[in-house]
Amino acid sequence: MRTGLYPGTFDPITLGHADIIRRACSLVDKLVIGVAINRDKGPLFSLEERVAMIEAECAALSKQTGCEIVVHPFENLLIHCARDVGASVILRGLRAVADFEYEYQMVGMNRAMDDSIETVFLMAEAQHQAIASKLVKEIARLGGDISGFVTPAVKAQLAEKFG
């Protein structure tokens, strides 16, 4: 069984994330979605809310793809999380070339710590490349239409947060 780890803050989960998750499911038998506990980012949604949102968004996808999807919060190093969940591959989504430089450095550091865990980059589909959780939150906060970036359930949760 091949286990992959797809880490992120997912604040909130977007259609771009869902696209990467769907495509990652074709590469692994079990996909662990690592929800980063990153206090420095000051997430809008609590850890519990983000985990519940991801579980809800991925339930149908798991059935559709036949891939087991597990949501796993983590606060340690990514490479340690990968070991903890038995992942042989870390899956990372790329939106643009600008993402690559940071990701390239992270891969080098992770390989120095454990070269048995590979990293695979998946480019977001063209219609999802501009989607960033940070921008989605800003658009929602200012009353803009985010229906092209998140599911109706996530849109409702954002509307609730921003009143």
Active-site annotation holder among 22, 23, 72, 95: 95
Token pair in block for residue 125: 């589909």
Helix axes 97-113, 78-85, angle to 10 degrees: 70
Catalytic site includes residue 17: yes
Catalytic site includes residue 50: no
Contact 37, 74 (CB under 8 A): yes
Active-site annotation holder among 41, 63, 80, 141: 41
Active-site annotation holder among 30, 50, 92, 133: 133
Catalytic site includes residue 133: yes
Active-site annotation holder among 17, 50, 128, 137: 17
Count of beta carbons in the 10 Å neighbourhood of residue 93: 21
Catalytic site includes residue 63: no
Residue 145 backbone zone (phi > 0: left; psi -120 to 50: alpha; other: beta): beta
Count of beta carbons in the 10 Å neighbourhood of residue 115: 8
Residues noted as catalytic: 17, 41, 95, 133
